[in-house]
Structure 1
């Protein structure tokens, strides 16, 4: 009886390892196939940044350009430290429960993971305000034409409810805030997929399927 249970356990573990390997291979393949393959970075235009903490990615944009002034849509009055000379805004999308109730990855509940895997979760927008962010390995600059940046702006604007109907939640610090938005977070439609979909909508070359942060950042050169 014990030997049989051991064989069953080994078989289950083997199938789980095979499934995990197949999933990781599909992620590598999907993130390596480019959208907008003919795109090249322009010499002139608007410099944005792709930011990562190794797990989650976001898009950093100048607060004010001739294309877009974010001060009305993403006001500093929504954050605690509103008097700093902010120059940029960082925008990302993710799962509500993870954003609001998981200050560190060690706080992530297995029940939350199972729920997201089963039925998904509600989307939430995360906005941070920065003062002159310096290019680095975890915040990589890339340039878009004015027209490409305008498409990126319109895509992000579509996730912002009107000011009068907007609901917000405190962020992790005094420089950031969460906004209620739409969309369903799943393991195939992740925060990193949102980032690459937004960049692809602008016309930038980026992978097709990027559920992990590395699938996004590998398309943006280190400074």
Structure 2
């Protein structure tokens, strides 16, 4: 029993150490740019980068010449399926946090320790919007059509396939899908957002475990 106790204390200690390192390194490392020479084009596809203060998401037009998301994320999977949706919001994250942690205040120490020590399963969160209005939490950015196609290709790697299990969302307009990948402190929901942007050639931060590290790279329209 004494040995088990020592091991448990060691695991807890390492978990908090990792969390502390993540917090201390997040802001300076999120200030290091990827694709530093990127500039916003005059024409292309306007997407949005969305944040609720905890999670970030990529908001895209529902239909463009590059991609029709209606087949990938059908409105039939949500309760309010009969609205004239124009955009779809997509984010990737840890299953238990997505389902049970809508705000930082809902995050339990046990969840932090579990993820720090073992990681977790992942989900894709998809919300459907009708003409979203730019705000400080929903920031528009225009990307070239080639960059948007690269972004689409990245998201398609985690998009649901036929018979993928899905779960009720926070409301009538969103849904969760099982998704590939393992969530860890080095591969967070916000890191997925910035990795997706970087893979498309768009300027973003290098290490962005928290939402602020992503949003700092997108001008506030308000």
Shared fold by TM > 0.5? yes
| 1:137 CA drift (Å) | 0.3
Distance 1:44 1:67 in 2: 15
| 1:112 CA drift (Å) | 1.5
- Alignment of structure 1 residues 1-223 onto 2, 5 Å: 23-163=22-162, 165-223=163-221
Change in Cα spacing, 1:170 to 1:120, as seen in structure 2 (3 Å) is: same
Q: Unpaired segments of 5 or more residues in structure 2?
A: 1-15
What is aligned with 2:3?
A: none
Give the total of aligned pairs. 207
Q: Unpaired segments of 5 or more residues in structure 1?
A: 1-16
Change in Cα spacing, 1:114 to 1:201, as seen in structure 2 (3 Å) is: same
| 1:136 CA drift (Å) | 0.6
| 1:106 CA drift (Å) | 3.5
| 1:58 CA drift (Å) | 0.3
| 1:20 CA drift (Å) | 7.1
Change in Cα spacing, 1:197 to 1:66, as seen in structure 2 (3 Å) is: same
| 1:78 CA drift (Å) | 0.3
Distance 2:216 2:115 in 1: 26
What is aligned with 1:12?
A: none
**Structure 1 ranges of 4+ moved more than 4 A:** 17-23
For the 8 Å contact 2:85–2:128, the answer to whether it is kept is yes
**What is the RMSD computed on CA atoms of the aligned residues?**
1.9
TM-score computed with the length of structure 2 as normaliser: 0.88
TM-score computed with the length of structure 1 as normaliser: 0.88
Distance 1:213 1:104 in 2: 12
